[in-house]
Structures are given as structure tokens and as C-alpha cells.
Structure 1
Amino acid sequence: MDFHGRRAAELVFCITGIWSAYIYQGVLQETLSTKRFGRNKERFEHLAFLNLAQSAVCLIWSFIMINIWRKARGGRAPWRSYWSAGITNTIGPAMGIEALKYISYPAQVMAKSSKMIPVMLMGTLVYGIKYTFQEYLCSLLVAGGVSIFALAKTSSKTINKLANPNAPLGYGLCFLNLVFDGFTNATQDSISTRYPKTNTWDMMLGMNLWSTIYNSIFMFGWPQASGYEAVQFCKDNPEAASDILYYCLCGAVGQNFIFFTIRRFGSLTNTTITTTRKFVSIVVSSLLSGNPLSRKQWGSVAMVFSGLSYQIYLKRKKSKKIKRKKKAF
């Protein structure tokens, strides 16, 4: 196989890995939030437990990968560097998962796709950053699409599957998830700048170490904490326990595919793959999980992903310009 054929095969491998891991994780996440388990047909109400379980599995996974692949030991960020990002990395995803009690999975994916809006808003108001017309157009398409989706009538079948339907609360939790994610990403960027030898597995280990500590305190820190009930539910319902394990493994495998994609093809390619994956997740959810979308909602989905696709195109165009300037010098 020649160089171009090998590169194409690697890209297909990355796309397949990321899509498979995260689409299946999305299906499991929706199943755990809507399905009724056991003879008594009980819901798994302790969705925050998913955050602890995934943190623990990713912690073990990253520790194994570091010890298998790492050669040089010096120069990585100390564990204490991650304590603050660990807090927001604990609270943010927990809010995103908790939102599934109040809104459908496609609605959650749509809301979390609007990450660029608070980023641009904070950049303009706090740092005085000026954006181009095209960037504002992308933001407008995404914001408009999410708004139309939220206001469109949701099918009664979808509403009946939710534990406590409450759209304002669900979207509010997703917005807070984005705010906390923004702080987490900014802190991770700062750590990468201060400690250049820190790779993704180092960061994965540091982040999940603190997340596991915080989540363990939250879930088991007092006698009435819900972690005990979650464990008992898993003992009584092995099917739920296996779904949680697969959910966590999907997250760990997905993170490794993302790491490989960024290393081989760059962050822009990774962004393109993960963005299209979100759209496919909505389609899969609608077809397999019984969440029918109205025409208006499908139109809003098209608006959001048109905006995101245009944003990726602008980034790629900007990246090519920078490369041409570097070559000229």
C-alpha cells in the first residue's frame, strides 16, 4: 500500500473508531436515562453515577496506556495542576447527563453543539475580540437552529419516555455544562502551554484522577449519598450494570481514537469527525431509540450542522493561509 493509500486507511480507521465509540455511547446513555429495568420496571435515577464510573475507567485506562507507551518520564504536569479543572470537569458533564431527565437525547446533543456561542459571547464582552461576519453567521445559524428545535413541538412518545419533562431546566443544565466545559478547556490549554511534554494520556490521567476523587466524595461522602443506591440498583439489575460498563469503555476507547486522530491528522480533522458524529447520533437516536423528530426539528438540525460545517470550512481556510505565509518566509 502506498503512502496516500495508507493515510486514507488510517483516516477511515479514525472515523470508524470515533463514530462507533461515541454513537454507541450515546445509545447507551439514552437507554440508561429512559429504560425501565427489572421486574419492577424501575428507572436508573442516579445518572450522576455515570460520571464517576467513566472517570474511574478512564483513569485506569490512561494509567495502563502511559505505562505501556511512555518512554520519557520528566517534564509532565504535576497532578496538583488539574485540581481546578477537575472540579469543572466533574460538575459540567454531570449537568449534561442530568439534563437527559428533562429533555430528549437529540435535544441535548443540539444544545451542546452550540458551544461556539458562549465562547464568542465571552470573547467579545470580556476580551474585546472582534469576529468576522462569517463567524457571526455561523453563530446565528447554530443559535437559530437550537432555538427552533427547543420551541418546536416534541412528540408525545418522546415526552413519555422522559423521567421529568422540563425543557427550560434541561436546556439550562446544558448551557451550564458548556460554561464549565469552557473553563475546563481553557485550563487544559494553559497546562499544555506550561508543560509542553504533557501528552493527552498524561492529561487524561490527571483530569480523571481529580474527577474520580470529587465524584467519589459526592456519591459516597455521607451515609445518605446516592452512590450507595446506584450500586445497589446495579446489583439488583445486572443489565444496567453491564450498560454502564460498556458506556465507560466507549468513552475510554473514544478518547484514545481522538488522541490518535489529532496526532496523525490534526485538531481540525478531529473537529470535523466529531461534529459529523453528533449529527449521525441524532439520526441513530431518532431511528433506533424511538425519538421521532418533526419536520421543523429536522430543519433546525440542518441549520445547526450547516453552521458548524461552515465554521470548520473557515478554520480550514484560515489554516491553509497561515501555512502559505510560513512557506513564503
Structure 2
Amino acid sequence: MVNNKPARNQTSASKSPSVLMLVVCVAGIYGSFLSWSYLQEKISSKNYSSEDGEAYFKAPLIINSVQAFFAMLVGTAYMSVKSRRFETPAHFLFQDRKMLRNFVLIALSQAVSSPIAYQSLNHLDYLFYLLAKSCKLIPVMLVHRLLYGSKFPTYKYVVAGLVTFGVVVFSISNRAKATSNDGRILLGFAYLFVSLLLDGLTNSTQDQLFSKSQSKKITGAHLMAGLNLLNTVFTFSYTALFTRQLDYFRQFVANNGREVVQDILMFGLLGSLGQIFIFLTLENFGSLLLVTITVTRKMFSMCLSVFLFGHQLNASQWFGLLTVFVGIFLESFYKMFAHQKKID
């Protein structure tokens, strides 16, 4: 009995994550996604013209294909390192037809949602787009409720209301005119609303997949690699067969130089690496710390957008922005409170 206690304590201590790991995870998430967010706005709003004209890049499916391809490669490497043997997404995707159907459903919703969201940037300001994307709680709750019959505590509805109210206040107070937007705000809202609903379907189905597939040991690394493989196939196939975006991309680069190519490649790489740090944080430190890191990362992304791209915010817009953050932090507080209550 006496000899076993130190052994257990030593084992527990050896398995506990280090402070250095935490620093690496935080630095990875901040560095990857702050840079990723900067490139996202740059690609969507920069005038790449090499002359005096205008040349705004409008081929979102190219961006999504590159992002999915990089994430598939990085996810496969991450999955292989975790399992200590080389493993590809095909190794587990085709073992179970029901699991494959769920993966296909999630991948299709992701593949459709992202280009629709990018399309909204033709009509909406990027800062509003970034704020609205923070409203994923609403469509996730809606899809969970309608498709899976899930119920939520009262504070979830309060958070959803605060975030929605903040976004509405921000949007109706937005008087800034972006040169890359055409001012068709209602059409932009429609695109963004459909994208958010698809995001809700994606996240809700992912929850169901994890809950039903625990015996199959589906991890975040499996999900990252498998979904991005399917996304690469779906998005690139649709782009090549049903759109002219490949031709547009080649012509755009020929006319305006390769800066946009470099931005898209870096965008895909940074987004892929950022996913790795998110999963590392989740596995080593839990969801509470991850929520804190990602919430503050979103705040810094918005502040970075304001200062680097010259957005002018009035008092109402700052109020809307603050309301969104109050809602997000309220959710984090309740999660922390619930977790502490379980421990006690």
C-alpha cells in the first residue's frame, strides 16, 4: 500500500501537461489564427491590381480547396503521429458505411457553407462577417432542437440573444463603405444566414458522430483528416466541373502577379496548423481553457482588423462589439461554473 502511492503520484505527474506545452499551444493558436484572419480579410478586400485599375479576388472555391488540401495533409500527419503508425483517412472512412455517411454529410455541409460565406463578403463588411460568424451558437442550437430534439439551459438562450443583439446593433450602425463591396446588404445577409445554418448542421452532426462512435475511437485527428479529404474531393471537383473559377484564377494571376497565390497558400497552411494547436489544447488542458483562448483570439482578430485595415467604428458599433463579447464570456463563465460544481 505504501509503496504503491508514490508510484501512482509519479505516474500522474509524468502525464500532466507542462507549462511549456501550454505556452506552445497558446502561441500556436494566437500566431496561426491571428495571421490566418489577417490573410482572410486581405484576400477578400485587397486590390491586387498591378496597374491603376481594380482587381479584387473573387474565387472562394479556390481558397477553400487549398485550405482543405493543406488541412488533409497536416491532419493525416497528426493522426499518424498520434497512432504511432502511418494512417490515411481511407483506413477508417470505409470501415463503416454509417460512419462514412455521417462524414459525407458533414463534409458536404462544410464544402457548401464556406463558399457561401465568402460570397457574402461581396456585399458585407468583413468585420461584420467576423462578428456574425461568432453567432454559430444560434444555428447549432436550432439544428440540435429541430433534428435531434436537444434541450438547452436558460443561459444558452441568454447568450444567443446577447450575441444576436450585438451583431444587429453593429450592422445597422455600420456606415463605412468598403471599396470591395457592392452595398447589397440584404443579399449578403441571406448568404450569411444560409452559411450559418449549414455551420449549425455541421457542428450538430459532429456532436452526434462523437457520441455514437466512441467505441470506434474517432478522435479529432480522424475527424480533421477525414473531413478535409472529402472536402478536398468535393470542393475541387465542383470547382473544376461546374465553375470557371480555375480559369479565372489563372487569368487573375497572369494579369496581377503571384501575390494572391502566396496569400492563399499561407492562408491554407496557417489554418491547418491552427487546427493542430486547437486539438492539442483540447486534449491536454480541456475545453474550458480552449474556450478562453479562442474567445480572446476572436477579440484580437477583430481589433487587428480595425487597426490594420482602417475600419472606423462609431459608439454604437463599439457597443454592439462589446455586447457580443459579453455574451461569449457569459457562456465561458457558466461553463467554468458548471465544471467547478462537478468537481465540488
Give yes or no for TM over 0.5: yes
Distance 1:252 1:123, change over 3 A: closer
User: Is 1:219 matched up with 2:232?
Assistant: no
Matches within 5 A, 1:63-102: 63-71=76-84, 77-79=92-94, 80-81=100-101, 82-102=103-123
User: Is 1:171 matched up with 2:189?
Assistant: yes
User: Is 1:322 matched up with 2:333?
Assistant: no
What's 1:140 paired with? 161
TM-score (normalizing by structure 1): 0.88
What's 1:24 paired with? 35
**Aligned-pair distance for 1:264?**
0.8
**What is the letter of the counterpart of residue 222 of structure 2?**
D
**Aligned-pair distance for 1:240?**
0.5
Matches within 5 A, 1:278-293: 278-293=298-313
**Aligned-pair distance for 1:182?**
1.6
**Aligned-pair distance for 1:226?**
1.6
CA displacement 1:153-203 (0-9 Å, x = unmatched): 322xxx232232222222322222221112112222233233332222211
Distance 1:164 1:266, change over 3 A: same
Q: Quick one: which of 275, 286, 306 aligns to 1:255?
A: 275
What's 2:317 paired with? 297
**8 Å Cα contact 2:127/2:305 also seen in 1:** yes
C-alpha distance in structure 2 between counterparts of 1:124 and 1:187, whole Å: 12
User: Is 1:234 matched up with 2:256?
Assistant: no
Give SS of 2:121's match: helix
**Aligned-pair distance for 1:123?**
5.0
TM-score (normalizing by structure 2): 0.84
C-alpha distance in structure 2 between counterparts of 1:51 and 1:178, whole Å: 17
What's 2:295 paired with? 275
**What is the letter of the counterpart of residue 51 of structure 1?**
N
Distance 1:130 1:251, change over 3 A: closer
Deviates more, 1:310-319 or 1:64-73: 64-73
Give SS of 1:162's match: coil
Matches within 5 A, 1:171-210: 171-196=189-214, 197-210=217-230
Distance 1:153 1:191, change over 3 A: closer
Q: How many residue pairs end up in the alignment?
A: 317
RMSD: 2.5
**Aligned-pair distance for 1:54?**
0.4
**Aligned-pair distance for 1:215?**
0.7
**8 Å Cα contact 1:103/1:162 also seen in 2:** no
Deviates more, 1:90-99 or 1:40-49: 40-49
Q: Quick one: which of 114, 132, 135 aligns to 2:135?
A: 114
**8 Å Cα contact 2:56/2:180 also seen in 1:** no
C-alpha distance in structure 2 between counterparts of 1:138 and 1:191, whole Å: 25
C-alpha distance in structure 1 between counterparts of 2:146 and 2:277, whole Å: 35
